[in-house]
Structure 1
Amino acid sequence: MDFVMNRVELLNIIENGENSYIEFKEEGIKAKELAEEIVAFANSEGGTILIGVSDDGKIKGITDKNIEEKIMNVCRNNCIPNIIPVYESVELDGLRISVVNIPKGLNKPYYTVDHKYYIRVGTTKRIASREELMRLFEANGSIHFDISPVYDTSVKDLNLDIVRDYFLKYNTFDLYEEDKKSLERILINADILKEVEGKAMCSVGGLLIFGKNADNIMPQNGISFAHFRGNEITDELIDKKIVCGRLQDIAEQMLVILKNNMKNPSTINQLRRQEREEYPVLVLREAIVNALVHRNYSILGSKIRIFMFDDRIEFHSPGKLPNTVTIEKMKIGVSYARNPFLVKYMENMRYIDQLGRGIPMIIKTMKDKGAKEPLLQESGEEFILSIYKNEL
């Protein structure tokens, strides 16, 4: 990776001060503190450390001729996994500044030799919370939140009638013919329950698919829907609903709500009335299920949001794209199961056709209908899919 900074660019950065991507440090910084800053940037979106600049932006310069080697040693020996920065030395008014560019980490989470995980928040670093650390491990594919245990839950929080129906249909045996111990072991093997210190607790996915009152335990579950007159959130609100429950029930209810909020004019063709869809039902169903299955459930308190406007529907799903998935890769069908439990069970119940096919299908269907190509974008901690109305 090439990284070249000229004198004017560096002066401009120093003048603007520290931010989420820029950190100032003086030459005397200790290896431990420098490692913490480097790890924080690598665990976040990357950034640049200027060594030889004080916190208030005064250019102090550096005198140590071996500073590049020392920085590289910190990245190699004090950061785990080791980090490879891009180093550059820039001279300002006779004073030398070390520019250390830390790329966004590909092997998150990173930690220091004293086993502390740091992230960058605003202009400072801090130790990652349990939820933030969980997301870092998820980003690397090391763990999957949907099969993690939900503490203070038990088999009593599951609707066993629905679990039984599932196993009768897809596994061809009756759970109610099993004794209590065998039933519990079957549910543990199916990841619907998780065994923790001898106790069987519901998994996140188990609650979302088979739970009685998942919303009381996981308030982030569900969809918040709003229909606006016009093309902006500030316009008049026509309809507003909160849809909760099991994922499969949410998908069905949300599809009905969207259909009820659409205008479907009809035409007379050879004495037959033909309905014309603003949005194909297949596309809406796929977009809803895609959001439910792939959102990041470790982000607490944030429901999926669906906004309907005159010209489009926006599906806001909490969580950035996982692992190495990019928007361009999604368009051609490359996918990554953030929640493999949810994918497996929703696929078995025929809510998902095949992993990775959803987005290409949505794009192709809307283009075939003559509509504007759907827009995929990341904004903060959200992934947003915008589907534009088929101009009838």
Structure 2
Amino acid sequence: MFIKNEIELQSIIKDGRSIEVELKTKVPPIEELARTVAAFANTQGGVILFGVGENGHIYDTPNGSVGKVVEGAKRLLSPVPPLELTEIYYDGKRISELFVKPTVQGPVLIKGAALKRVGSQIQPADKERIISLLSLKGLPQEELMTILETLAEAVSKQTIEIERLRKQQELENKWTARLGAWIWSGIIGAIIGYIFGLFFI
């Protein structure tokens, strides 16, 4: 287990999010958790605390809720990195802790994308990072290095494109929601104006 006692937990909460620590006030969607796990595994590992806010406020996590999301996240990852899920009680509230170990089986991919942790952010893994995660033991390096570099560059480019499309989709979804709100506001305004005109003009 990553956190050994309350003193260690207090220190982590005080320091906040970092390259090795992610704080979640509530249980996130499955894909969001899978992305965080993949990024940790492809960097140097880390811990995700569920039920802890950026300001150090402690929230109670529902019993069993984190485990279900973790299982769902594992189905999106290939390969699945070593994970350890435990519970800690702090000030009478349940905090779930997911310890993610660094991958030893090559890059952990989510939907074909290789991610890494940079500070407290998730970014596409570059070619050099992907190569460093590939095991070359027992293989003729001179013959395979060119192939591995080509593969790593392709995966890196694919990851960047996936990230671009994901952000574009998020932006389009926001604009669609806003457009819908504007349209409905216009319709409602027109109806109110029509009714007002019938009775008062």
TM-score by length of 2: 0.63
Question: In the superposition, relative to structure 1, how do residues 18 and 3 fare at CA in structure 2: closer, same or farther (>3 Å)?
Answer: closer
Deviation per CA, 1:314-335, whole angstroms, max 9, x where unpaired? Answer: xxxxxxxxxxxxxxxxxxxxxx
Q: 1:124 to 1:14 in 2, by over 3 A?
A: same
- Measured at CA, do residues 25 and 143 of structure 1 come closer, stay the same or move farther in structure 2, by a change above 3 Å? farther
Out of 139, 147, 162, the position equivalent to 2:145 is 147
Deviation at 1:137, TM superposition (A): 2.7
Give the corresponding residue for 1:136. 133
Ranges in structure 1 where 5+ consecutive residues have no aligned partner: 150-392
The one-letter code of the counterpart of 1:50 is L
- Indicate yes or no: 2:32 matched with 1:33: yes
Identity among equivalent positions (%) equals 27
Q: CA shift at 1:93, angstroms?
A: 1.5
Secondary structure of the residue that 1:60 maps to in structure 2?
coil
* Partner Cα separation in structure 1 for residue 71 and residue 140 of structure 2: 30
Cα deviation for residue 58 of structure 1 reads: 2.6
SS in structure 2 at match of 1:117: strand
Match of 1:125 in 2: 122
RMSD: 2.7
SS in 2 for 1:147: helix
Change over 3 Å in CA distance of 1:93–1:147 after alignment to 2: closer
Q: For each residue in 1:193-228, what CA deviation from the matched residue of structure 2 results, as whole angstroms up to 9, or x when unmatched?
A: xxxxxxxxxxxxxxxxxxxxxxxxxxxxxxxxxxxx
SS for the counterpart of 1:62 is: coil
Q: Which runs of 4+ in 1 moved over 6 A?
A: 139-143
Task: Summarize deviations over 1:277-325 as a string: whole Å, max 9, x none.
Answer: xxxxxxxxxxxxxxxxxxxxxxxxxxxxxxxxxxxxxxxxxxxxxxxxx
Higher helix share: 2
Aligned match of 1:217 = none
Q: How far apart, in 1, do the equivalents of 2:32 and 2:71 lie?
A: 14
CA, structure 1 residues 55+108, in 2 after alignment: closer, same or farther (shift >3 Å)?
farther
Partner SS for 1:108: coil
Shift of the 75–28 alpha-carbon distance from structure 1 to 2, 3 Å rule, reads closer
Partners of 1:108 and 1:140 within 8 A in 2: no
Does the CA-based 8 Å contact 1:108-1:137 persist in structure 2? yes
**Separation of aligned partners in 2, 1:75 and 1:124:** 19
**For residues 60 and 66 of structure 1, what CA distance do their matches in structure 2 show?**
15
From 87, 90, 94, give the equivalent of 1:89.
87
Counterparts of 2:56 and 2:138 in 1: how far apart (Å)? 39
Higher normalized contact order (CA 8 Å, seq sep 6+, divided by chain length): 2
TM-score by length of 1: 0.34
CA distance 1:38–1:100, shift in 2 (3 Å): same
Distance 1:74 1:141, change over 3 A: farther
Go from structure 1 to structure 2 and tell me whether the alpha carbon gap of 1:141 and 1:35 turns closer, same or farther (over 3 Å shift): farther
In the other structure, the counterpart of 2:181 is none
Question: Aligned pair count?
Answer: 147
- Give me the whole-angstrom Cα distance separating, in 2, the residues matched to 1:20 and 1:86: 18
5 Å matches for 1:235-250? none
Task: Return the alpha-carbon distance in structure 1 between the equivalents of residues 119 and 98 of structure 2.
Answer: 18
Q: Secondary structure in 1 aligned to 2:48?
A: strand
The answer to whether the 8 Å contact 1:21/1:48 transfers is yes
Structure-2 change in CA distance of 1:98 and 1:133 (3 Å)? same
Matching residue of 2:10:
11
Change (3 A) 1:4 1:16: closer
Shift in Å, 1:140: 7.8
